Structure formats: structure tokens, C-alpha cells
Structure 1
Amino acid sequence: LHGIREPSFHHGGGGVRDHVLPGNKEYREGDEIQRPPSGGGGGGSEGSPDGSGEDAFRFVLTREEFLTLFLDDLELPDLAKRRLVEGSDPAWHRAGYSVAGTPSNLSLARTMRNSLSRRIALKRPKPAEVLALEAEIAALEGDPEAVDRLLALKAELATQVKRSQRIPWIDPIDVRYRRFEPVPRPVARAVMFCLMDVSGSMTEDMKDLAKRFYTLLFLFLQRRYKHVDLVFIRHTHEAAEVDEQTFFHSRETGGTLVSTALEEMRKVVEDRYPPSDWNIYAAQASDGDNAAGDSQRTARLLIDTILPACQYYAYIEVGRDSEHGMPGFPRGPTDLWRTYEQLVSAGAPMAMKKVRNRREIFPVFRELFAKRGILEEAKG
């Protein structure tokens, strides 16, 4: 990847152009104005007469390196509920010793301990005892008065040597290997509900911003977590759970009732995701418009049903380049923004951000899902 900026059209540094510059206080007709340097410095292919220049610094990132750089310090907040689930990755724990195994798991200490116990039980002669007999025999050699003693010592030495040969220092029955068993471990299971407004008030630019946000969210979850389900819900005046393809590419539109999306989410939670076993998250994208009177029902659904079951609820409002509509006609926060703002002020596990253009999507995404320690340091 050669950078992350998108191409755009702009005036080049060369050529001849006529300009009308209001408020000129410095130049008169006939004055020569030095051409400003063209943008985009760096080294070129031509030589420099004075030897000065600048090397272009460029490097290539793989997709994995790119995702690591941008997404590894993010997390789902408060991922606390853990359960034993079928098919989860087991953790390997020590489970005593076994008589078979790989050389890397050989336990030398346990093997030598078993060897010592066996040699003591079978009364294998100690090397020091054999050496003492050999030394005594060597001392009595040539003494005519110690013939009987010498014969007895030699017989005892022969017996000790044979016994040592029959009882090996280490026997296969002594060998022990460290044993490991797979133990199921609790895993944190999570589900992310993606709620997107596709009503008629959402322009194509607004939908594009929302889809880019959800694309980032999808990449983040797929890379960071193994046990995360994604539930896609599109809504107009009606809401429906859809698959990924429909969520991102369907052209359906209509009126606006935000409460229908929350009601659909409530039904899915009741059917498939009990809050006692699942960490439930939601990310909603909308332009903030809602039908008259529906904001109150939306707030009631959030307070009574959705937020008590959620670990975290993120809301982004897309497409508002400013807090004003047409010049001279100021427009304040939307109904949905005011409704959610009251919930956040009351301490609900929610976060709200506005996205006005593409450049703001990733910074907003990082703020919503930054690790708590990193986020607190940034605020401090």
C-alpha cells in the first residue's frame, strides 16, 4: 500500500494562468511574481546542479501489517461474560507423568528419582562398595596368610559385579514423561448488532459514510476476536435482519422509524443471544432524522430493554457538514441526537460521535473502540 490517501483533482504548479486577486497591496502591473514551489517534494530522476536533494521515503505494507498497524490497539469494551462453549480452543495443563511421550517432555528429575528407588529396593551394590572390595583384594594379594580371606572377597566381588550387571542404572520402567491434558477454558462470546438507517432522508453520501464505518468494524471484529457473531439490521419505517450482502448493497429505501430497528434487535436477542451468556454490543448509524413521536418510543426501548442487555452501544450520526442547514437558517441537533444525549448524560453505556466526511471515519472509529487505558491517557 502506497499510502492511504485517496486521489483528488487540484491545480498543478506549472502552466500560465490569469488570476484576479482582490485586496492587492504589494504588486503593480508589470511586476514579476515568483512562482510558488510545486507541491509534493522528494527526489526525482534528474540530477541536481548543486548536489542537494531529498530521498523519497516509501515502504510497502502487506494487508496483515496494515491491519495490525491500525487495529491492534482497539477492543470491545467490558468483554466480561465468559462461558464454556463447545468447540472452543482448549488450554493445555500439566496432568502428572506418563510412561510414554516425546523426548522434549522427558522429565529427568522424575526418571532419576524412580531409578534410585528401584536400585535401593533391589539392593544394587553401590559403586563405592565395589571399589572398596577391589582395593581390599589388591592389598591382600601376595599375602600367604590371607588366602582364605582373599578367596572370600573375590567371591563376594564376583557376586556384586553380577548383581550390578543384572540391575541396570536406568531401566525403561524408570523413564517418565511430563503429561499434558486439554482443559476446556471459558471464552468470551460476543455479538455485534449493526443497525443502519437506509431511509429516504439518507443520501448516498451518508450511506457511503455508514458503510465505510461498518466495513472498519467488520475488519476489526474478524481480526481481533474468534467468537463474535455479527447481526445486520437495515431499517426504514420497517426493520429486518439481513445478510452481509444485502446489508451493504441493497437499494431498498422508505420512511424513517428508528424504533423498528431496536424492536428487531430485541427480538433477535430474545431468540438467540441470552444476555447471561453473551456480551452484546450495538453500533448504529443514522442521519439523526426520525418520525415525529418515535423518538420517545426509541428512548423507552433503549432504557427498558436494549441498554440493560448491552455492554456498549455506539451511535454515529453521518452527513452533517455543519450544525446549519441553508445560510441564515440555523439547525440545531437532530431529535435522535438530543434523545441519545440525555441517555449518555444519565450514565448509559453509550458513546456518540458525528462523522461529516470520509476523513473523520477512522478517527471516530478509534475513539469509539480504543482500549480504555489508551482512551483515558488521550483524554488526560
Structure 2
Amino acid sequence: MHHFIDRRANPKGKSLGNRQRFLERARDSIKERVDRSVREKSIKDGGGIPAEGEKVTIPSRGLKEPRFHHSSKGGRRRHVLPGNKDFVVGDTLKRPQGGAGEGGKKASEDGDGSDEFSFTLTRDEYLEILFDGLELPDLVEKATVETETIGTRRAGLTTAGTPNNLNLVRTMRNSLGRRIALQRPSAKSISDLEQQINELEEIEARTPDQDAQLAELRQRLEVLERKRRVVGYIDPLDLRYDTYVPEKIRNSRAVVFCLMDVSGSMQEREKDLAKRFFLLLHLFLTRSYEHTELVFVRHTHHAQEVDEETFFYARETGGTIVSTALEKMKEIIAERYPPDEWNIYGAQASDGENFGNDSIRCKTLLLEDLLPVCQFYAYVEIVDENADMLLNNPEVGEDLWQNFREVKAQAAHFEMQRVSQPSHIYPIFREFFLPKAQGGQHAGS
């Protein structure tokens, strides 16, 4: 039978095994808090999750593990405590009133209370819980673009090299082996021999045997010192140097285009819902790619590339021509993001309104220009909170929705959904990226 021993170092002051068991036991409560925390995050700063982790607070109820303890309502006890002046052996005592119950430090009107427990999730733990069970679609995963750069890698050891590449551990190991094999005298053996010689030299009237012993010791000392000089502590034969060879390093990088309608019909509620979806997409892709960039494109009757602050909070009025945003995305890709070097993703949010026959132009741009170079494209239509008919019937919609349904029928990596409130964002995001064997049918399919 094989036995595997986990020798990974625990974090300072923590037990890795206990922490993993705790996270598993409280996973539902933690996941609920993590899902809530994404609402107020910024996108470009990595979702607002600091490198040292994210503080999470969950109710302490249900965190305690089962354990055995003495019950105050059962069992028989026969003992008298020292110093007792009121009772003797054999007296019968009434059991204390009350029983087991739950206490708490927080005051409440009905008398019930529960402490809260705060701890810090590492960034990796936070993202793992947030995106539990999600993966890139198969079509995207197979087409991941990687660029090559020239780096170096370790290629063993050599007997020649520069001092800064000297491998001290291997050099000292070779030196020790050589000294043992050649029986190089140690400093202690020479010191002991010198001490014996000094003791004999201090004797004023030495016997012939002592003189012979002294001569022999001096001869042995001379041999040891000569051998110690010949067999050096470190020899050029012992030196070993790390060697490096050039190597092509594959780097994966992605760019996420965030497109949003900012005309007068897109109010703060609609922008907030769009921001949450863009945030989730950015966090998810940063786990799959070493380098991820964001491009913000906002549009009314014309489109422009802006920073995140302007994208979400600047006020602007005008008509609605969605194709201008797609044209702008096409232009930026041609200027800065060659498809053979970048994995390109698109995310678009709109309230579904568009001018005249522009929706046909949008369909053409997507099918002919953008989707052929995109790994994945998601369209989220934000509807009124009371528009139950639109949410439940994907066949009903404005011209833009209908044309995008035709796009979806022809492109497997194009997804579309409708949302009306924050609670819809995370479920549709999970539906986009669930493995196809697990995911259900998307709206518009």
C-alpha cells in the first residue's frame, strides 16, 4: 500500500488541512457572501480583490462541529467538593433549572442572537468559489492563441562558468566527497597531534622511549601537514556551475471589449447591471490568461473608446445606433490587437433599442467581421423589471434582438440573454460558461 505524506508548508500560524475542511463545511454561506461582494467591485483593478485576499463575514451558526459533552439533564454523580459546609455524603441535590440552548452576543428584540465570524479568503480561494464549476467553452479552449518570447531555463550543471552561476551546494558536495576519498587530514587531527608533541617537549628529562615517540609524532605531523596542503579544501575539479539555455516561452493573453449603450434610455440601474456582468467576465478570464486587457467602448449615435470611470458614470445623451460600437471595436482590433496574437472577447450590454434598419448592419458586422476573430461574444439585453413576457419568451423582442437570434443560430460562440435585476447576472453568467454537458438551453436558441 502506498502512503502519501503532504509536506507542504502551512501558512504562518495556520493549519492548511483545518482551513480546507472549514471552507468545505461553510461553503454555502461563504459562496453567498462572495456572490454579494462582487456588486461594488471595480473592473480594472482586478475586481477590487486585493492580493492579500478578501475579508468575508458569515454567521457563526452551523460552524461548530459535532462533539460529545456531559449533559446537565442526565447521569448520576456522587461527590462532595472540598470546603463544603452544607452537605454530606448521601444528601440529595435538586438539579439546576434550565437546559441546553444557544447564546449570542448580539442583542435582538426576540431574545435570539448569533455571533458573526470574520476571516480572510485568499485571492485564489475567492475566485475558486466565485467561479466554481465554470470553464471556457470547448470551442474557445481549443482555439486559445499563444505568443512566443525568448527566455532561459535551467539545463543542468557544467564544470565551467561565471562566478555568479556557481552552484555552491553541488560544489561543496563534490569537495566533501573528494576529501573523504583522499583521506585529507582534518584540522582536529593535526591539532591533537600538535598537543601530544607539546606535552612531550615540556618534559625536561625524557626517556629514550619518549624521545623515539616524539620523533615519530613529529614525522607524522609533517606527513599530515604535507598531505593537507596537497589535498586542498576546494579543488578546481569540485566546481560546478548552473547552465542555462534559451527557450521559447508561450504566453497567453486576452483582450475584453466592453460595449455599452449610454443613450438616455440607459439609466443607473441598467448601467449597474451591465457593470456586474463585465466584472464577472473580466475576473473569469484573468484566471485563464496570464495577461488580460480591457477596452471600454460606449455609444449613442456615435461610439468612442473611454476609460472605466467615463464608461460607467459620464452623462451623455443622443440617439441609439448600435453598429457604431461594433465598427469601433473592429477598428481597435485592426489597430492594436492582431487576432493571431490575442484572444479576443466581446461583451455587449444594451436595452434593446436601435435606430431604423441598423440592426441588420449589426448582424452583418458580427457575422462577417467580429465573430471570425473572437473567441467568445456575449450580448446581454437589460429589460424593465416588470417585463416578464420578454424574460420568459425569447422569441419576442425588438429588431436588434431578432437579428441577434439569427446570429446565434449561425455562431456557436455567440451567446445572448436578458436580465432585469441583479440576481439574474450571476446565473446567466454561469450558464454561458458551464460545460455544455451541464448547461441548459440559452435564451434566444
The separation in 1 between residues aligned to 2:132 and 2:241, in whole angstroms, is 39
Does the alignment pair 1:287 with 2:351? yes
Look up the match of 1:60: 118
List alignment gaps of at least 5 residues for structure 2: 1-29, 38-58, 63-96, 105-113, 184-219
Q: Which residue identity does 2:169 align to in structure 1?
A: L
Equivalent positions of 1:146-225 (< 5 A) are: 167-168=230-231, 171-173=234-236, 174-180=238-244, 183=247, 185-221=249-285, 225=289
Q: Deviations over 1:247-279 (max 9, x none)?
A: 111111221111110000011011111111111
Does the alignment pair 1:83 with 2:147? yes
The separation in 2 between residues aligned to 1:66 and 1:57, in whole angstroms, is 23
Does the alignment pair 1:94 with 2:155? yes
List alignment gaps of at least 5 residues for structure 1: 7-39, 126-156
Does the alignment pair 1:341 with 2:405? yes
Equivalent positions of 1:99-110 (< 5 A) are: 100=163, 106-107=169-170
- The answer to whether the 8 Å contact 2:375/2:413 transfers is yes
Look up the match of 2:340: 276
- The answer to whether the 8 Å contact 1:189/1:279 transfers is yes
- The answer to whether the 8 Å contact 1:115/1:169 transfers is no
The separation in 2 between residues aligned to 1:378 and 1:268, in whole angstroms, is 33
CA deviation after TM superposition for structure 1 residue 111, in Å: 3.6
The separation in 1 between residues aligned to 2:359 and 2:430, in whole angstroms, is 28
Q: Residue 369 and residue 59 in structure 1: after superposition, are their counterparts in 2 closer, same or farther (change >3 A)?
A: farther
Look up the match of 2:363: 299
Q: Which residue identity does 1:324 align to in structure 2?
A: M
Does the alignment pair 1:324 with 2:384? no
- The answer to whether the 8 Å contact 2:146/2:251 transfers is yes
CA deviation after TM superposition for structure 1 residue 92, in Å: 3.5
CA deviation after TM superposition for structure 1 residue 201, in Å: 2.8
CA deviation after TM superposition for structure 1 residue 333, in Å: 2.4
CA deviation after TM superposition for structure 1 residue 346, in Å: 1.8
The separation in 2 between residues aligned to 1:288 and 1:91, in whole angstroms, is 51
The separation in 1 between residues aligned to 2:342 and 2:353, in whole angstroms, is 31
- The answer to whether the 8 Å contact 1:91/1:183 transfers is yes
Q: Residue 61 and residue 376 in structure 1: after superposition, are their counterparts in 2 closer, same or farther (change >3 A)?
A: farther
- The answer to whether the 8 Å contact 1:191/1:230 transfers is yes
The separation in 2 between residues aligned to 1:204 and 1:178, in whole angstroms, is 59
Give percent identity, aligned residues only: 39
CA deviation after TM superposition for structure 1 residue 180, in Å: 4.3
- The answer to whether the 8 Å contact 1:110/1:176 transfers is no
Which residue, out of 53, 66, 70, partners 2:130?
70
Matched residue pairs, number?
298
Choose 300-309 or 348-357, whichever is displaced more: 348-357
Look up the match of 1:51: 100
SS of the aligned residue for 2:371 comes to helix
The separation in 1 between residues aligned to 2:439 and 2:402, in whole angstroms, is 26
SS of the aligned residue for 1:254 comes to coil
The separation in 1 between residues aligned to 2:421 and 2:128, in whole angstroms, is 24
CA deviation after TM superposition for structure 1 residue 75, in Å: 5.5
